[in-house]
Amino acid sequence: MSFISGSECSTSRNPLAHFSKHASEDKSLQRERINPATGPATSIRSQQRPDKELMEDFRPHSFNMDSLRHEMANMQNAPVQSAQPMQQMHTPKWENPQLDSAGPAWSDQFQQQQPMQQQPMQQGRMGTPVEPAMSFRPQMSYMGGPMMGSTAFRPAGMTQQRPNQRVVELDDAKWEEQFQAIEAETREASAEAVDKGKEADTAAKELSDQGDETFHGDFESIWKGIQQQVADELEMERAAHEAAGDRPIWEKDFDQFTTGRPDYGEYLFEQDNKYNEMPDPFEEGVRLMESGGKLSEAALAFEAAVRQNPNRVEAWERLGACQAQNEKEEPAIRALERAVALDPKSQSALMNLSISYTNEGYENAAYATLERWLATKYPELVGEVRDSDPNMNTEDRFALHQRVTELFIRAAHLAPEGLQMDADVQVGLGVLFYGQEDYDKAIDCFNAALAVRPDDALIWNRLGATLANSHRSEEAIDAYHRALSLRPSFVRARYNLGVSCINIGCYREAAQHLLGALALHSTDNVTPGSGSSESETTGITNESSNLYETLRRVFMALGRRDLASTVGPSMNLNSYRQEFEF
Amino acid sequence: MSLKDPKFPSSEVFEVIAAALKSDSFKKVALEKGDGIFAFTLENSEAATKSWYLDLKNSGTVGVGSAPEGASADVELSMSDENFAALVDGSKSAQELFMSGQLQLKGNMMKAMNAQPVIERAKEFKAKL
């Protein structure tokens, strides 16, 4: 057998390998013993107090909240929050004033809990956190090391603290999460207890006022009675809500959340419309959309259709969708709101409306609209969640978002994979994550939707927009190109393409795309600024100020103030063709 | 009243900011990052001066004047209209202007730093879903 044969070098014969094995074994052994390190830390707090000196050592840190408070503030501000798993979103806000006002009772409790939870974390911070999981070691050996025996530190009651020991293995960030979660639970529980206590007090008073002696001294039955009473009241309140106008609670929420935005008013029609004379402009509009005709033409056709029959929901719906794709958000919202007013269950109008609200920055309205969409498509889901927690009418944007997201995730679970998957649910989820700037998750959702509907130009554009807003302009441009190859007249995708070009500094290309988008806005009816059309004087009612604004800034960036000043509804697009190709 | 004053071409940015502040999410971020009332006093080519305020402390609004009613600005930034345009489009930095005496600061200088990222973000074009 040669000395340099493989087997000689193999780890099984290599003494060094054995050594390292020993070392690691040793470590794991140590770890075993050290893990209960929270035992001593907490046991000092409890009545055991094995060593007075140690107490002194720990005391200076135990109530030092400053660094912690700082951490907490950071945690809240950090966008990381949204990247944490769903469960973390349950954690209520720290400076919830309602909780603070809950009275001294809970705060006492809180004080008692606080040092226990806090101390291990403080220790973790003290040691240089090269190896966070093991940072308890120094303290441990200081207390006598493994010789002391871990059980000696643990009072009988400590076994219930087991979860904490597991946590020792987590790194700092996880610690904070855990800490936050535990604390939130404590707060919630104590706040609840106080509330219930108050209820009990008032109820008891009432009872004695009535002179009802039978319940006195029988706290249990009073308690049960109150619980029943409260439940009944809630039920009655709910029933009353539903009876009044036959509206479920989420509809009330919908109204509440959609009122916080400006009123877009009535839809404004183009003055001259050749489609007005047509027998069936709606069919013509649909044909134009499907054959890849100009969106502005299709919009005119749908306008003519709703003028002929203002109650035709489908026509409003199509008009809104068309205007949104045409990069005319405000007319789109006006049309879609009209469609929803006529038929509150119009799914496509609700979905498109929520997307338009998101684009305009009205997240609350968008979330509430999505919830309404879900309630229309999956009524059983919304009912289920509402039943399990009838107090869900919170006004907090964060809570609203979380609730609607949860609903959509449930809906997504109904058909998780394959062709049965509801692409619209994925789009809705994507919009929800997008609203929270959780772009990676939104991208996943849009990709999932594309797996079901690979030829949907709208979803490609949404994927592109999400990529662009998470600073992945190059990938975004690919997605926009996919959208445009599927639908060359898709003005919004072209606008977005221009925006992405701006973001990567290609102003010339940006100008070309934006001019191309504006060229698509011209119709046989009205050609902006061309001077040849008879109806030129009237101009376009629904212009895209967004496109003009962007183009103006591109010209400024190109150092062309002369061109920037010409941008506007009266611009003559043909005059730019000498310089720009579009 | 329009925020934009044609005699002060750079004042267009106040409309851009006002438009951006209509969005819930932008307003929230702007109030967090800005945390102050900023007054911009611009001097145009005709040596006329005019002030605009950017309230990122309470209401999250933009307006004409050095501060919203009943409040006062935390910091006032005075410069020429041209320099403000350059500051906004990024061709000059606040530090550069300040060092060369072309930008005067009155009040809490540290706060002045907060305005830049908010304006920067307001100017960003967002892709549309």
Residue ranges of the domains in chain B?
9-127
Output the pLDDT for position A562: 85
Across the A:B interface, residue pairs with CB atoms under 8 Å apart total 54
The answer to whether the beta carbons of residues B128 and A325 sit under 8 Å apart is no
Superfamily of the domain at B9-127: SCP2 sterol-binding domain (3.30.1050.10)
Please indicate whether residue A25 or residue A124 has the higher confidence score (pLDDT).
A25
The interface residues of chain A toward chain B in range 460-489, judged by CB-CB distance below 8 A, are 461-462, 464-466, 468-469, 476
**Contacts with A462 from chain B: Cβ below 8 Å:** 129
How high is the mean pLDDT of chain A? 70
In chain B, which residue's Cα lies nearest the Cα of A436? B25
- Closest CA of chain B from A261, distance in Å: 9
User: Cα Rg for chain A, rounded, in angstroms?
Assistant: 32
For residue A442, is it within any domain? Answer: no
Per-residue model confidence as pLDDT tens digits over A273-331 = 888 888 889 999 999 998 888 999 999 999 999 999 999 999 999 999 999 999 998 89
For residue A347, is it within any domain? Answer: yes
Output the pLDDT for position B94: 86
Nearest to A543 by CA among A350, A327, A245, A232: A327
Lowest mean pLDDT among A90-94, A467-471, B51-55: A90-94
Output the pLDDT for position A373: 92
- Using CB atoms, pick whichever of B22, B125, B129 lies closest to residue A550: B125
Output the pLDDT for position B71: 87
- Please give the residue range of the domain that contains residue A357: 248-369
Question: Which residues, at least 6 apart from A399, have a Cβ–Cβ distance to it below 8 Å?
Answer: none
Over residues A9-17, mean pLDDT: 52
* Interchain pair A359, B128: CB under 8 A: yes
pLDDT at A430 over 90: yes
Using an 8 Å CB-CB cutoff, list residues of chain B that contact chain A: 22-26, 32, 89, 125-129
Over residues A119-137, mean pLDDT: 41
pLDDT at A216 over 80: no
Rounded to whole angstroms, the Cα distance separating A235 from A511 reads 60
| Confidence band for A421, pLDDT divided at 50, 70 and 90 | confident
Please indicate whether residue A227 or residue A132 has the higher confidence score (pLDDT).
A227
Output the pLDDT for position A573: 86
Q: Is the dihedral of CA A117, A119, A122, A124 positive or negative?
A: negative
* Interchain pair B24, A431: CB under 8 A: no
Please indicate whether residue A155 or residue B96 has the higher confidence score (pLDDT).
B96
In chain A, which residue's Cα lies nearest the Cα of B16? A549
For residue A155, the one-letter residue type is P
Q: How far apart are the first and last CA of chain A?
A: 77
Output the pLDDT for position A191: 64
Q: What is the pTM of this model?
A: 0.60
CA angle A199/A201/A204 to nearest 5° reads 105
Rounded to whole angstroms, the Cα distance separating A359 from B72 reads 33
The answer to whether the beta carbons of residues B5 and B89 sit under 8 Å apart is no
* Interchain pair B129, A361: CB under 8 A: no
In chain A, which residue's Cα lies nearest the Cα of B15? A549
For residue A280, is it within any domain? Answer: yes
For residue A306, is it within any domain? Answer: yes
pLDDT at A212 over 90: no
CB contact, 8 Å: A397 with chain B?
A: yes
Phi, psi of B80 (to 5 degrees): -80, 155
Please indicate whether residue A454 or residue A181 has the higher confidence score (pLDDT).
A454
For residue A331, is it within any domain? Answer: yes
The domain spanning residue A312 has which CATH number? 1.25.40.10
CA angle A177/A179/A180 to nearest 5° reads 65
pLDDT at A61 over 50: no
Given phi > 0 = left and psi -120 to 50 = alpha, else beta, which region is B69?
beta
Output the pLDDT for position A192: 64
Please indicate whether residue A377 or residue A21 has the higher confidence score (pLDDT).
A377
- Using CB atoms, pick whichever of A355, A364, A397 lies closest to residue B129: A355
Lowest mean pLDDT among A47-61, A356-370, A472-486: A47-61
Per-residue model confidence as pLDDT tens digits over B17-62 = 988 888 777 888 889 888 999 999 999 999 999 999 999 998 889 9
| Confidence band for A173, pLDDT divided at 50, 70 and 90 | low
In chain A, which residue's Cα lies nearest the Cα of B124? A503
For residue A512, is it within any domain? Answer: no
Output the pLDDT for position A505: 86
CB contact, 8 Å: A369 with chain B?
A: no
Checking A251-259 for CB contacts under 8 A at 24+ apart, the result is: A251/A372, A252/A393, A253/A368, A253/A371, A253/A393, A253/A400, A254/A368, A254/A369, A254/A371, A254/A372, A256/A368, A256/A395, A257/A364, A257/A365, A257/A367, A257/A368, A257/A400, A258/A364, A258/A365, A258/A368, A258/A369
Q: With pLDDT > 90 as the criterion, what percentage of chain A qualifies?
A: 26
**CA count, 13 A, side-chain hemisphere, A349:** 24
Rounded to whole angstroms, the Cα distance separating B115 from B113 reads 6
The interface residues of chain A toward chain B in range 8-47, judged by CB-CB distance below 8 A, are none
For residue A227, is it within any domain? Answer: no
* Interchain pair B23, A361: CB under 8 A: yes
- Using CB atoms, pick whichever of B24, B125, B128 lies closest to residue A362: B24
Give, as one character, the DSSP assignment of residue B72. Answer: -
* Interchain pair B26, A327: CB under 8 A: no
The answer to whether the beta carbons of residues B107 and B74 sit under 8 Å apart is yes
Output the pLDDT for position A193: 63
For residue A330, is it within any domain? Answer: yes
Per-residue model confidence as pLDDT tens digits over A492-534 = 999 999 999 988 889 999 999 999 999 988 876 544 444 333 3
Query: Domain total for chain A?
Result: 1
**Contacts with A456 from chain B: Cβ below 8 Å:** none
| Confidence band for A199, pLDDT divided at 50, 70 and 90 | low
Q: Is the dihedral of CA A575, A510, A505, B26 positive or negative?
A: positive
Both tokens assigned to A53: 């000196």
pLDDT at A51 over 70: no
